[in-house]
Structure 1
Amino acid sequence: MEWTLFLLLLLCPLMMIICMKGMGGHKHHSSHSSSNLDKKMSKLEIENETLKKEIDKLSSLIKKGS
């Protein structure tokens, strides 16, 4: 029973090292993904404005119909 507890305690830092090493391989994509995120964000902002205008038009149509 003591060995399993000891093995679990050793396994925890080992898994942390493996996970951190695995995440380190994705650092070179950060500059590309940042510009990609900026493009997506600006596209979403334009789409949001379009949808707001459409909602305003529909709201005014509903008010006129009431």
Structure 2
Amino acid sequence: MEWLSYLLILLCPLMMIFCMRGHGGHKHQHEQHFTKNMETKLKLLEEENNKLKNEMESISKIVKKGS
């Protein structure tokens, strides 16, 4: 009967290892989704930044002509 208690004690860390590995796969998928979202947002911000630069240049030209 003593061997049963040792078996249970050893089983606990083994189960923890397998459970933690199972959760690691979900983390990787979440990171990929997060990265894809960030890349999309970054592209949109870059496009908006370029539009704003063009507008500023246009306004600057208009102001210089008016001076």
TM-score band by shorter chain is: 0.5 to 0.7
2:40 is aligned with 1:43: no
Percent same amino acid among aligned pairs?
19
Aligned counterparts of 1:26 and 1:61: Cα–Cα separation in 2: 52
Q: TM-score, normalised by structure 1?
A: 0.58
- Alpha-carbon RMSD: 1.5
The amino acid across from 2:35 in the alignment is: M
Q: CA deviation at 1:29?
A: 2.0
TM norm structure 2 = 0.57
Paired amino acid for 1:43: N
Larger Rg: 2
Partner of 2:5: none
Note the residue ranges of structure 2 that are not aligned, 5 or more in a row: 1-16, 61-67
The number of aligned residues is 43
